[in-house]
Chain A
């Protein structure tokens, strides 16, 4: 039986950006609802089971109960994977690694860029179906969760057949010292703070420099800033090195959701594919918008473009599959999801 991973955590979309910007808050009920919609899609594809992140609010268990209440998904096998009661990003990393160990074909995530970074770190070859469920969602794409579940289920049962709909991405590799290697999906920034604190970045005066891949003017965060200056796209990824501070070119930057702030860009330069950028402390490195590693005085981090996570093109897969055969296994599962 094919296995699909499901990662959703109640800790996402909860941080200080509810105060510093107009970031939305996603409560647990909404997470359960989205998970149930994903599971409904998965349940509509035959021979798929689910391994999920076990976290304190029991999102997936409650989602299964929600589905059962609607007489859906009762035949769907589901079991937790990785650490029980996951609270931290390290637990998500471990659960993601465990998904690789059990042979999952792909993983559906409902979180922000931080969640997807943790998944990609734990399982570098993961095929991710990323639904926006965080504060900044530059990596994910907005599709209906049930459609995402159907696509994930179809892919899991026939990965070779749907391989054309798996798209590589470009990410960032960050080497700190001789051993530590981190990853980022979208951006690495050096900020002047020497504490992790509330993690998010919301004061542009603290930004020193950043490397951003796949700048996209339609999203908030540093990806949006880079996108305003040198937009790329997923088929033609670009990476830019930004240095902040005056003298420079002042822009109104979308640093957070609804948070447009004056920002002075001292320098914006496209990076070559093999180029390395060195950032030096003192300061803190932020990955995908969250402070993660404190750099001591003169401590260096070396940032390079790297192969990123693979993503499943949900829309492309479903379009290609439409009308070719009975999409969903009506009757083999107790589900009301119908085919064409």
Chain B
């Protein structure tokens, strides 16, 4: 059970993630109208935002150290921010600027930070074996750091998922596999792609614990993740946590979402986990209305400064195009 300070910090993380994402909704569309063009505007490339999935990042990352390694997906902002990745450098990377985490060459799907240790990829399921590699390295180095792999329910159908769970279980590696099930793999509903309802069932195939968190609740996620992280850190091996979460926005910005109805989208917004959590904090006396307002104000300022930093940063020089590029 998180103490009150932890609850407030989880809330703060969820708020700053939400503001960051909602700001990007606006910024990303600059210059892209009337004809949508992913090359236009200040933010090039595709954009996959995570609004609604903040509880996953806040609940899990609350247990991590900067030296614990995270691998994430093409929808990575929440985990990067909650793990402590510098927001200004992250925004600059998203804008493709020289001051970004990867000097503007990775973009929003390829954020990389050495400390806090964070990486993500646009390739579905790519981060899962990478997390196993992190954990193997930690074990060989005698460190009690752990690896956390975040991935979507679509990735759980990839061979890399199964190969990774098998090796992590075989070698008792300190990995926490976190499946963010938002029910949609791009536009494909889970029931049309996945033979089983709960990916946590797949843990049994590799002899590791599998837990289902059914309701996108940050406290439930915090409690389960705390147990899984402690288990991994003490050398007891990997575990799999499946979280039923909500993707409030489209797969990518500009997605018309023709694959789901307005009623379905509205229903997601009505059960917004951030709104629910903030209400619970107020009811329980953990966070007053004034404190909540101060958090929102401070986070708006932080995000505005990060976006301003990104906007004002230089673009990479053409001559540096091949620097740091290995493939």
Give the B-binding residues of A (Cβ under 8 A). 10-11, 14-16, 18-20, 25, 27-29, 56-57, 87-88, 193-199, 203, 206, 294, 296
Contacts and interface: CB of A to CB of B under 8 A. Distances in A.
A25 B210 contact: yes
A59 to B, nearest CB: 9
A19 B239 contact: yes
B180 interface: no
A29 B217 CA distance: 27
Contact of A18 (B2, B210, B280): B210
Interface string B213-244: 11001011011100110010000000100000
A199 B222 CA distance: 12
Interface string B280-293: 10011000000000
B240 to A, nearest CB: 9
Given A195-B1, A294-B284, 14 more contacts: A10-B197, A11-B212, A14-B212, A16-B223, A18-B203, A19-B227, A25-B204, A28-B201, A196-B219, A197-B217, A197-B222, A198-B219, A198-B224, A296-B283
- In this complex, the member of B2, B209, B223, B227 whose beta carbon has the largest number of chain A beta carbons within 10 angstroms is B223
B196 interface: yes
B200 A196 contact: no
Given A11-B214, A19-B239, A197 B223 contact: yes
B214 A87 contact: yes
Given A25-B204, A28-B197, A16 B227 contact: yes
B222 to A, nearest CB: 7
B211 interface: yes
Given A14-B211, A19-B209, A196-B219, A27 B196 contact: yes
Contacts of A28: 196-198, 201
Contacts of B209: 18-19, 25
Number of chain B interface residues as a range: 20 to 34
Contacts of B222: 197
Contact of A56 (B197, B201, B228): B197
A10 B196 CA distance: 10
Given A15-B212, A16-B227, A206-B1, A10 B280 contact: no
Contact of B197 (A18, A57, A196, A198): A57
Interface of B: 1-2, 191, 196-198, 200-201, 203-204, 209-214, 217, 219-220, 222-224, 227-228, 231, 239, 280, 283-284
A196 B211 contact: no
B224 A16 contact: yes
Given A196-B219, A197-B220, A198-B220, A15 B197 contact: no
Contacts of A296: 283-284
A279 B284 CA distance: 18
Contact of A27 (B2, B201, B223, B283): B201
Nearest to A191: B1
Contacts of A27: 196, 198, 201, 204
Q: Which 7 A-B pairs have the closest CB atoms?
A: A14-B212, A57-B197, A19-B227, A27-B201, A198-B223, A197-B219, A18-B209
A27 B242 CA distance: 14
Contact of B201 (A19, A25, A199): A25
A15 B211 contact: yes
Contacts of A19: 209, 211, 224, 227-228, 231, 239
B196 A14 contact: no
Contacts of B228: 19
Given A19-B211, A19-B231, A195 B201 contact: no
10 contacts: A10-B198, A19-B239, A28-B198, A57-B198, A195-B2, A196-B220, A198-B219, A203-B1, A206-B1, A296-B284
Contacts of B210: 14, 18, 25
Nearest to A197: B219
Contacts of B2: 195
A321 to B, nearest CB: 37
B306 to A, nearest CB: 31
A19 B219 CA distance: 16
Nearest to B221: A198
A296 B280 CA distance: 12
